[in-house]
Structure 1
């Protein structure tokens, strides 16, 4: 699934309060319905609009859920994982693993770029050099007249 890209992982505990539509997300995975080949983990497949998870904002599609209320989700069939979520109560604690794709280049460049990903320095430095050269040429030309 990662297509040759190395990912970093971070873990987080997220507390959600069950709303009218449950916890507000769908899951995939399990020992009987592996979402990723040779991985029986439980993953978030969809965040429901205006559900508890969407309103909280931290849980993302593709996150792996490691624990529900302290109970590990290792080696569970899909239906058993669903039952665990359904019976988790009103206040639910999720330990999740986020997959973070690393950025290319030094991390200090991330906030210093245009939306297209080109660092401002790549545009500004040559542009300023051209302007400075044009001013110098114009001043030299005036001196000779």
Structure 2
């Protein structure tokens, strides 16, 4: 049976029971294949819907796996991490750092939006068009008739 062990902030401990499709997720990362700049951690890259993780529903793509069966995944090569998962047995305990949710509605630490140059050009053209129409209407309305 799958179930939580304990949770602290964004760190979640969970148990998964290996099924016919394995644990049902792929990993990326390691000291030899950094997935995140300046971070050699192991991350979930894909969840298989019919696997143990997909059926459980708590593990998400982008989550960082901190430990498996109590073994820390720091400073491991990708292959060493894969080997740990393969030898983990049927009942697997994972310690996960959940990916941070995106910030909503302008929290104090949110980053400004970055728009593509095409968006900026389109906005500029729309404003220029509106100014031209306004100017045309204004000059036509204020023109004196003799």
SS of residue matched to 1:104: coil
What is residue 102 of structure 1 aligned with on the other side?
A: 103
Aligned residues: 98
What is residue 68 of structure 2 aligned with on the other side?
A: 68
What is residue 135 of structure 2 aligned with on the other side?
A: none
For normalisation by structure 1, the TM-score amounts to 0.65
Question: 1:49: Cα distance to partner?
Answer: 1.7
SS of residue matched to 1:59: coil
Q: In structure 1, how many angstroms separate the alpha carbons of the residues matched to 2:96 and 2:86?
A: 17
Q: In structure 1, how many angstroms separate the alpha carbons of the residues matched to 2:93 and 2:44?
A: 15
Q: In structure 1, how many angstroms separate the alpha carbons of the residues matched to 2:77 and 2:43?
A: 13
For normalisation by structure 2, the TM-score amounts to 0.64
What is residue 45 of structure 1 aligned with on the other side?
A: 45
Q: In structure 1, how many angstroms separate the alpha carbons of the residues matched to 2:85 and 2:55?
A: 18
Question: 1:89: Cα distance to partner?
Answer: 0.6
Q: In structure 2, how many angstroms separate the alpha carbons of the residues matched to 1:104 and 1:20?
A: 43
What is residue 77 of structure 1 aligned with on the other side?
A: 77
Contact 2:21 2:50 in 1 (8 A): no
Gaps of 5+ in 1: 1-8, 107-145
Instruction: Give the root-mean-square deviation of aligned CA atoms.
Output: 1.4
What is residue 120 of structure 2 aligned with on the other side?
A: none
